[in-house]
Structure formats: C-alpha cells, structure tokens
Amino acid sequence: MLWGILAIIALAALFGLLLGLASVVFKVESSPVVDQIDALLPQTQCGQCSYAGCRPYAEAIAAGEAPINLCPPGGENTVQALADLLDVEVLPLEEEEEAHEGPIVAVIIEELCIGCTLCIQACPVDAIIGAAKQMHTVIESECTGCELCVPPCPVDCIEMVPVKQTITTWHWPEPQYDVNHTPAGNIFTTIDQVLAENAHP
Amino acid sequence: MSISTHIQRLWSFPGGLKLDGRKQLSNEGPIESAEIPHLLEIPLSQHIGHPAEAVVKVGDTIKKGQLIGHAQGAVSAPVHASSSGTVTAIEERLVPHPSGLPALCVIIETDGYDRWDSCTPLISMDDPQHKNLHALSAEQITDKVAEAGIVGLGGALYPSAAKLETARKKATDTLIINAAECEPYITCDDALMRNRPEEIILGILLIKKIVGARYCLIGIEDNKPEAFKALSDAITGYERAIHEHCEQTIEIIQVPTRYPAGGEKQLIQVLTGKEVPTQGLPMDIGIICHNITTAATVYQAVYRGEPLVSRIVTITGGAIKKPQNMEVAIGTSIREILDQAGWDKSRVDKIIMGGPMMGFALPSIDVPVTKATNCILVSEPGELATPPPAMPCIRCSRCADSCPMSLLPQQMYWYAKARDLEKIQDYNIFDCIECGCCSYVCPSNIPLVQYFRYAKNEIWDDERERNKANLARERHEFRQERLEKMKKAREEAARLRKEKLAKKKAEEKQKAAGGDGEKLPASSHADLIQEAIARSKAKKAQQQAQKRNTENLTEAQQKQVDEAERRRKKR
Amino acid sequence: MFVAQSSPFLKPELSVSKMMLVVLLALIPGIITSVWVFGFGVLVNIVLAITFSLLFEAVMLYLRKRPVKVYLRDNSAFLTAVLLALALPPLAPWWLTLVGSFFAIVIAKQLYGGLGYNPFNPAMAAYAILLVSFPAEMTTLWTAPVMLGGHESLSLLQTLNYQLFNQLPEALTLDAVSYATPLDVVRTSVINGLASISEIRSTGHTFGMFGGIGTEWVNLAFLAGGLFLLKKGIIQWYIPVSMLATLGFFSLLFGSFELDSNPSPLFHLFSGATMLGAFFIATDPVTAATTPKGRIIYGAGIGLLIYIIRTWGGYPDAIAFSVLIMNMCVPLLDYYTRPRVYGHNVDEEQP
C-alpha cells in the first residue's frame, strides 16, 4: 500500500518534471495576443471604441477589460475574426449610429479652410498636410476615415465623403439568384434597358 | 519548299468543350472600313497597368496618330488620336466594362479629313530584300512597339513592349503565335489572316528578332482552313527573308478545334506538352506567346510608323443584318458601328463585347470601341441564355470534367458561397482562367465563373485592406513616437532654461554676497561648454522629432500634394 | 444599379431536369424486360412509388418553403421513385412501397436539405431500411420469372389484387407464383455447403444461360441503358467500369480456387441488381465521389463490398449496403484524390 502510494507520487513527480522541462525546452514563441488582436483591427485609429487608438483597444481586449464589439469601422467581419482568435462568442456590433456604406474619407473644402492646423494635430495617421495660415489638404490614400479631424475644425470645412467606386475598385458581386430566392422579373436588364424595351411601349 | 517541323506530335489538354462555332456568319467577306464618326471617345486606360495621362488640352487641334496620353510607369501604354480634329473635352464617360462605370476619356470632334500626323517608319516599304531588318536592333523595335501603344490584342491587354522586354532578357527559345481564336462567333483574327497574311509574317519576324527565339510556332484551330492556307502561302512567299533572319522557319500548326484551345496555357500545352508553372509566366519555361493581331500591329508600327489607332472588330449575331468584320477607329461608338453594319433593333436581346464564353454584356451601347474590342455580338431572343435561377448543385462533377486546368469548380463553389477565402485558395482558385466551361456544362445553371470572380475580388480586397491597415498602423506609431519625442525635447529645453536661470541667480547671489569673485572659476567655463552642447543636442532632437510622415510620399500622393499646393498659391 | 450577368452566355446544353429525364429514358428497356420477366408487379410498384414519392416531395417542399413546382419539375423524385420500385420485390404490398417512398424522400432526401444535399442515395437508404425492417416481405415476394417452368403467372388484375388487398386467386399459394432469387439460392445453399454449383445447376431453377435465371435478361437490358447514358455523356465511365471490373475480378479470383462452390464472374455480373447498380445507382451524382480517381476508387469499393457481402454477408444482394457504405467515404475520397492542377508540381512531368 505504502509502496504503491510512494510509487505513484514518484511517477507523478517524474512526469511533472518532464512536462515542466519540455515546456521550457520546446517553448513555442507565439506573438503576444495583443499583437494578434491589433493585427485584426482596421487601424483607423478613430477612437470610436473609447480607447485612444487601435492598439490601446487591443490591449484592453487582451486584458479582458473591453468587449470585442466596440469597433464600428471593422464591422461584423472584425468581430467574427476576434471571436475566432479569442475563442469567445460573437457579439452583435455595438453601434451608436447608422454605419456608413463602404469606406469614407475626409475632404477639406479648400475655399473655407483658414489654415488653423487643428485638424493636422487631430489626425492620427498624419494624413493631413499644410502649415499655419495656409490651406490644408487630405492625402486621400492615407486617410482612414476616422472622422477625428471633423470636430476640431472651427469653420466646419471638413466633409466625410464615400470613396468613389471606379472601374479598378469595382467588384463582381456575389451571385444572388437561385431558385430558393427567386427575384422578381429579369434582374439583368440593361443595354440601355434592352434598347428601351426594343422601342415599344 | 521545305517546311521542316520540329513538332513531332500534338499534346492535349484536359476537359474543354466542343462548341458550335457559328463563325461562318461573319468570316466570309472582306474587311470593311468603318466610317470615321463625328465624335471619338478615347479612354485613357485601355490596357493593364497605370492609365495613360492626357497630354492634350481642350481646344487642341490634333492629327491622326498624334499622342494624346502618355504612358505612366513601367506597365502602361500610350494612347493616340484615331483621327484628326479638335479635343472638345477630357472627362469621364461610360466605357465598355461590365460595371457600367465611367472612366476618363479624351473626346475628339473629328474634322473629316482624317489627316495623319507625320509617321516615321523604321523600315521603308520599298525594301524588297528586307535588308533593313538586319540593321534594326531589338531595342529599336521594342521602343517602337512601346511608342505605338501596342497591347496584347488577344484579350489580355498587357502592354506588349513590357512583355517583349522581359522575354528578351530571359532566355526565350520558342515564340508561339496564337491564332487559335477558339471562342464561338469571333472571326477578326481569321479575317486578318485571310486578308493580310504578309503583314502577320513580317510582324512575327520582328517579334522574333526582339526576343531572339529559335523556334516560332503559329497555332491555329483546324476550323480555319482558308486562314491556314493564306498564312502557309505567305510563309512560302517570304521563305528567303525568313531563312535569312532565322535558323528555323516559322511553323504553322493546326490544332484540334476544342474550346479553350486558344487559352495561352492550353495552346502552349497542346503545342509543346509543357505547362506554365502556377503563378509563373510562359517565359519561365522559355516560351513567349503573342496574339496574331498583335503581330500585325507590330508590323504596322515598324513598317508604316502607325500607332495602334484602329482594330478589326467582328460584328455578328442574329440581330445583325450583315455580319462582317470591320476595321474601326478606336473611340468610335458602338452605336455607330451597329448602324453601319445594319441591325434589327426590335429583335435585339443582348449585346456582348467579346465572345459568348468570356465576353461581357455591354451596359450601354453608347460606349467606344477600345483596343480590347474584338467582337460585338448582338443576339436575337433565344440565341443566348439569360440564366434561369440556379438550382442546387447536384455534385455531378461535369464542371470538373470540363475544366481545362483540372480544377474542382464544385468544391471551389461551396467555399466561395461560404466565403471561406483560405480554403478556396487551397483549391487553387487563382489558377482559374475564367474560360466559362464549368458554368456552361452546369446542369443546375450555377454561375460558377461569377462565384470565382467574386471570390478572387474578395481575396484581393482583403489583402488591400490589410495593407492599408498596416500602413495606418505604421503611420500612427510613427506619429506617437514623434509626439513623445517632441514632448521630451520640450521638457529638456525647459529643464535647461530652469538650470540656467538657477545658475544665474546663484552667481548673482555669490556676487552680491562676496563681491570678490571677479574672475569666473575655471570649472564654470567647462560648464558653459557643456551647456552649449546640451542646447544643440536638444535642438537636434527637436528637429528630429519634427520629421514628418509626409516625407516619403509616392508619386501619386506627391502629385496630389503638388496640386493642392498649386491651388493654394492661386488663392 | 443593375446586376451584371457574368459570362458565359451560350445557352447551356443540359439542365437537372433533362439529365434526370435521360436517365429515366435509359431505364425503359430494363423496365420493359423486368415486366416481361417478373410480371405486372413491377409496373404496379413503379406507379405506386411515383405517386407516393411525388406526393411526399411536394408536401416536404411546401413545408420547407421551397418553390414546389420548380423542384417537382427537376424529375429527381421521379427517378428516385423508379429506382426504388425496381429494387423492390415484384409482389411487394402497397404499404411497403409507401414506407419506402416515405423513407427515401422525406428522411433520406428532404430532411437532409433536399436535392443535392443528401449524403446517402435515397432509394438505397430506403431499400436498406425496408430490408432490415421487413426481411420476409423483401425476400419472399419475388415472382417466378416467365422462363422458369412449373409456376403460374398472374394477370394484372390478380397482381393488383394481391398487392393492394393481399388476396391471391383461389387455388393458388404464394409458393406457386414466387421463387427464391438466384443470389438467395446461391447464398443459402452453396455458401453454407448444402449444395454445390453443379447440383444447383442441375435443378434448372437458378442458373440461366449466363447469369441468374430471369435476372440475366434484366441485367442485360440495364447494361444497354447504361451504355446509352455513357454515350450521351450523362454518366462517365469511371464508376461503372471500376465497379464491374472489381466485382468480376474478385469473383474470378475466388472462383478459380473452388470452382464448384463459387459462382462465376458472369453470374455475379448478371444477377440481382448488378447492372442497375453499376449504371444507375452508384452513378447517382449527388452521393458519388467527384474526382476522377475518387470515382474509380468509389466504384471499386462498391464492387468489392458487393462481392464480400454476397459471399460472406447476411443478405443475398448487396448493392444497397455497398453503395451506402461507400457514400460515407465520399468526402474523404474527394479530399484525398484531388487531381493535379495545371502548372502545379510540373518539374518532373515536363516532357
């Protein structure tokens, strides 16, 4: 009896030691969870999550202080990806207002700009250039559409506009027509509405 | 005559379809010349790569062949005026594209004279011995091809000069000229071969000269016997020239008519048995492939000095009164051509640009002919399909059996539908050539090709978004760092000022107290130097901290900034 | 904004409904031969099965809120019904067909998601359930083939009377009109060592000219229909050829050891539902493997299982179980037999 117990204890100690050693020797370096979370966030740095930027939000999620559904620019996809990464349940997106359809960028109405540099200071990604008393300009390709430059502007000369779709950004849509969702009528009609219904009323 | 062939046998590709070619509709007659329209709309982007940039202004008088848009960057092609007249606008107009979105065009009001700009051929036409061909260097010809705005006219629209340049640098030993023209209805290559075989052969010689290929094979489907004969005769006619310039003759090989034999990868497989490595180029296996029309265009550029300002377009389909091939000035509206060819508007069902397998339905007929326009197919009701709603997939695997790339379209479809973008790449979606075989054979009418296009677009979009997010992160971190540094620098400066003030006070105190300290102690001298160093360091740090994100701008971004600057100065 | 229609625009050559219809057409010679050999019971089964199946299909589609007309027109329930009917014994009572149709359409097909989503062949799943639940009815109600002497054959009315009301004409017993199928005889006698092949042959009740008596002609007719399907390109050769070849190979292999206790390959190929299975059941697109290699392995697996179950298993015929077992392997087969895509791993294969 005693020997049995001792043997078991000895075995347990041995395997415990082995496991402990293995975890040290074969340690797998994985990038810290904060980096992984940060990589999934859209990096708009908009602060809509109430944190000072994407990385602080990532840190908060990692620390368990923030839920995963505070990022409107990332949308459902980001929530889904975060849920997958952290193995938690998908939460519905917390939205304060109607989300925008598609990406947006800031545009400065140049006639109104007084060159106060307030927006330049507000921009988290340095996408606005200009100097004091000189007109400012948004570099469109760098703008993340975070809207942080809108409130500081004293003359309300910054507008958020949807990014215009062009031939190069156009997309084949996902096919939507199958027997289970029969659309009404011919959804493909064009060539100028089949030459205005072949010139008949 | 002895045409020795090193091709001993033909290979085959998996899948493919036997289709009703319907080529006899349009392939009999001569190539008609379309009239120059009153207005030309010439898109600035008619190729893969960066759009050309307009070099003319509204109000400019221009001649035919004059440069109106110059190439931007390594992969791009210039655009030329296709008739003489006046530039009336440079603005966004509808262009032939499935989206129905507009793009930047140069609008020219033609003067009706069709006057050419001065053309400078590299070889004069009265050179029966083709001696001048010897004198030309590969660079000269490539430059001319680039200058003429020639792009792959088989449908790829890749700037030809860029492709030739790469091929020249790599060891390319086989030049394959694609004359298969495998899509139903289209006969523009056929018409060209029948009517202008000499131009093609001379063009091929020029291309061969650039890439330095040892072998040259023309692959043509066996449903075009007349074109085959015309080309064979032309090869015989130019035997001496060919002989002088090449070690091997130009071989013309008939391949079995089976769609898509004219796909670049399929034609290479049929002629050589080799496969282009995935995500690679034919050049990786020593092959370069060019379309037969491209060859003729190279001829025109070198022998006549004419840039690419017109092309042969097949006008065909059940609603066309007299299906035919027309040489059309680029920029001519499709409505004008259809009016010239004669069409029954009341019977029109669809208008397809390109063939029925890979073309797209035009969103409007008030769009211009571009370098890509090889065929306008105007169908009558019942001729082409408006797909009935898709039934569920019954896993019959007809799609896989017909796929020339040996893909599994059915599995790819499930993953596209589930938006599993990783899995669909495991099934090699990027090897799909969108030939349409799978959709055509699908008994459930599932628009497989569209699913694959959608999935590819989604993958590209995701990648773009990720890149953009990474860039934003970098810029944000840079900015945080800068703010941090600036803060530190300010604190440092404040500390120094304080110290100095304290010291001064102490000195004054000392003076007031002792009065005998006339001379500065030696140590304070060293202090002053230290102070100065510290000041300069702080200044430097401040300067460094002021380094901006806006220093390494790309060309396009810089341009946007410059424009803003210009506007600013104007005010 | 309009929806862009994607290429291709050529009119498709085939639809699900047409595909199923061609398969049904190809079944006609087999059906006619079956009626000739086994009497009107076959026809009654077919009519009953079609009626029940379409009814169940319509009700299920309605309950699942699917467009009923569209799906009924795809002919898939029609085909399932005919295949099930052909697998049932010719004198099957009406309720057997009803239960079979219910299981095939409601359980095996619609509850799994309807057309295209069922992992198991509906007709075979139903057949297997019937065989396990009603073994007596499923094996003893085979009418004696017309070429077998000493049996009475029933008229259409008499058949109907039996199938619907379980009433035989006076002075006739079930034994007088039915027979033990060749596969059943072989399994119970030869394999249990009760009689040798030559002894059975001498009775003249089991072996026909080359296959099982009666069933050989039915199989021949289904073979003809299958070749028609191959020619039409509705099915590909992979599954039938590999299945028949495997079955033939193993019966030849074992048959050559002990000639007198193992029936010949020809007997295996032309008895029971071999040909029906090879060309019409194993090739069911929804439940079969899809890659070329996968289809060959799938067919070979069915052939092997048929031989094993017929020889050592507990049931006389084995098409249903073999097909169902291989149905289970399909996802695995499809995954591990993906063909080499153009341009992948080309280095060693370039000529």
Structure confidence at residue A187 as a pLDDT band (50, 70, 90): low
Q: What is the mean pLDDT of residues A5-18?
A: 95
Counting as contact any 3 or more CB pairs under 8 A, the partners of A are: B, C
Place B547 in a pLDDT band, splitting at 50, 70 and 90: low
Closest CA to B184 of B560, B496, B435, B533: B435
Tell me how far apart the alpha carbons of residues B55 and B40 are, in angstroms, rounded to a whole number.
17
- In this prediction, residues C231-238 reach a mean pLDDT of 94
Residues 157-216 of B with CB under 8 A from C: 184
What residue numbers bound the domain in which B169 lies? 120-316
d(CA A148, CA B395): 51
Task: Determine contact: A182 vs chain C, CB below 8 A.
Answer: yes
Architecture of domain A33-86: Orthogonal Bundle (1.10)
Domain ranges of chain A: 33-86
pLDDT higher than 50, residue B198: yes
The band of C2, judged by pLDDT with boundaries at 50, 70 and 90, is low
CB-count burial class (<10 Å; 0-12, 13-18, 19+) for C240: buried
**Smallest Cα–Cα separation from B34: which of B267, B261, B271, B338?**
B338
B88 C-beta neighbours (distance < 10 Å), count: 15
What DSSP state is assigned to residue B169? H
Q: Positive or negative CA dihedral for B264, B266, B267, B268?
A: positive
Give the pLDDT of residue B4. Answer: 43
Residues of C in contact with A172 (CB under 8 A): 4, 6
Domain annotation covers residue B270: yes
> B3 vs B163, B233, B242, B252, CA distance in Å?
29, 11, 11, 9
| DSSP label at residue B232 | H
Q: Which of A16-25, A98-107, B51-60, B497-506 has the lowest mean pLDDT?
A: A98-107
Q: List the subunits that have 3+ CB pairs under 8 angstroms with C.
A: A, B
Q: How far is A186 from chain C (nearest CA, A)?
A: 10
Point out the domain boundary residue: B503, B525, B559: B503
On chain B, the residues whose CB falls within 8 A of the CB of C292 are 400-401
Question: Is B45 inside any structural domain?
Answer: no
Q: How many domains does one find in chain B?
A: 2
Question: Chain C partners of B353 at a C-beta cutoff of 8 Å?
Answer: none
Residue of B nearest to C235 (CA): B396
Q: Are A79 and A68 in contact (CB under 8 A)?
A: yes
Nearest to C343 among B277, B411, B443 (CB): B277
Contact B322, B312 (CB under 8 A): no
pLDDT > 90 fraction of chain B, expressed in percent and rounded: 52
Q: What percent of chain C has pLDDT over 90?
A: 62
Compute the distance between CA of residue A158 and CA of residue B561 in angstroms, rounded to an integer. 17
CB contact under 8 A, A189 and C2: yes
Q: Rounded mean pLDDT of chain C?
A: 89
Q: Which of B232-236, C35-39, C140-144 has the weakest average pLDDT?
A: C140-144
Rounded to whole angstroms, the Cα distance separating B170 from B378 reads 43
Rounded Cα–Cα distance for residues C181 and C199 (Å): 16
Run of H or E residues at C298: helix C292-312
- The verdict on ipTM greater than 0.85 is yes
B479, B503, B527 — which closes off a domain? B503
Q: Are residues B252 and B167 in the same domain?
A: yes
Cβ of A188 and B548 within 8 Å?
no
Q: Which of A139, A165, A177 sits opposite B389 (nearest CB)?
A: A177
Do B408 and B495 reside in the same domain of the chain? yes
Statement to judge: residues B303 and B414 lie in one domain: no
Closest chain B residue to the Cα of A122, Cα to Cα: B479
Share of chain A above pLDDT 90, in %: 9
pLDDT of residue C1: 43
- Residue of chain C whose alpha carbon sits nearest to that of B428: C341
* Contact status of B7 with chain C (Cβ, < 8 Å): no
In this predicted structure, what is the pLDDT of residue A159? Answer: 86
Q: What is the pLDDT of residues A116-133, one digit of tens each?
A: 888 888 888 888 888 777
Contact residues, B window 330-369, toward C, CB-based 8 Å cutoff: 350, 352, 354, 356-361, 363
Does residue B517 sit at the A interface (CB-CB below 8 Å)?
A: no
- Residue B270 pLDDT: 94
Closest residue of chain B to C294, computed from CA coordinates: B397
Read off the tokens for A114. 């007084």
B421 is a domain residue: yes
Kindly report, residue by residue over B131-155, the tens digit of the pLDDT: 667 778 888 899 999 999 999 998 8
pLDDT digits (tens, 9 = 90+) for B265-305: 999 999 999 999 998 899 989 999 999 999 999 999 998 89
Q: List the end-to-end C-alpha distance of chain B, in Å, as a whole number.
A: 75
Q: How far is CA C179 from the centre of its chain?
A: 20
Residue C349 has pLDDT above 60, yes or no: no
Calpha distance C118→C116 (Å, rounded): 6
Residue in C2, C4, C70 nearest the CB of A179: C70
What pLDDT score does C276 carry? 96
CA atoms of C335 and B102, how far apart (whole Å): 44
Q: How far apart are CA C88 and CA C86, in angstroms?
A: 6
Q: Do B367 and B94 meet the contact criterion of CB atoms below 8 Å apart?
A: yes
* pLDDT score recorded for residue B517: 47
**Who among B347, B465, B473 is closest to A54 (CB)?**
B473
The reply to whether residue B436 touches residue C13, judged by beta carbons under 8 angstroms, is: no
Whether the pLDDT of residue C317 is over 80: the answer is no
Residue B422's nearest CA partner among B431, B432, B412 is: B412
Q: Report which of residues A37 and A31 the model is more confident about.
A: A37
Contact A180 C66 (CB under 8 A): yes
Per-residue burial over B149-162, b if 16 or more Cβ lie within 10 Å, else e, is bbbbbbbbbbbbbb
Fill in the DSSP letter of residue C197: H
| pTM greater than 0.90 | no
B310 lies in the same domain as B437: no
Question: What DSSP designation does C109 have?
Answer: I
The one-letter amino acid code at B354 reads G
Statement to judge: residues B309 and B401 lie in one domain: no
Q: Is residue B536 part of a domain?
A: no
Give the pLDDT score at B568: 65
Q: What residue in B sits closest to A183 (Cα-Cα)?
A: B389
Q: Which of these ranges, A83-92, B31-40, B391-400, B410-419, has the smallest mean pLDDT?
A: A83-92
Model confidence band, residue C256 (pLDDT cutoffs 50, 70, 90):
confident
- B305 and B428 inside one domain: no
**Which residue is it, tokens 């075995």?**
A11
Q: What does the pLDDT read at residue A179?
A: 67
Domain ranges in chain C are: 14-178, 181-210+233-337
Residue in this structure with the two tokens 């089976």, named with its chain if needed: B258
Domain boundary among B503, B521, B540: B503
Q: Locate the DSSP E strands across B279-405.
A: 287-291, 310-316, 324-329, 350-353, 360-361, 375-379
Tens of pLDDT, residues A150-177: 888 888 888 888 888 888 888 888 887 7
Which chain A positions have a beta carbon within 8 Å of B103's beta carbon?
A: 166-167
Determine the average pLDDT of the residues in B74-88.
Answer: 93
pLDDT band at B1 (very low <50, low <70, confident <90, very high): very low
Q: Is residue B367 part of a domain?
A: no
Least confident segment among A56-60, A140-144, B124-128, B222-226: B124-128
Q: A54-68, B437-451, C264-278: lowest mean pLDDT where?
A: A54-68
Q: Give the pLDDT score at B2.
A: 35
Closest approach of chain C CAs to the CA of A187, in angstroms?
Answer: 6
Question: Given an 8 Å threshold on Cβ–Cβ distance, is B476 in contact with A125?
Answer: yes
Minimal C-alpha gap between B142 and chain A (Å): 28
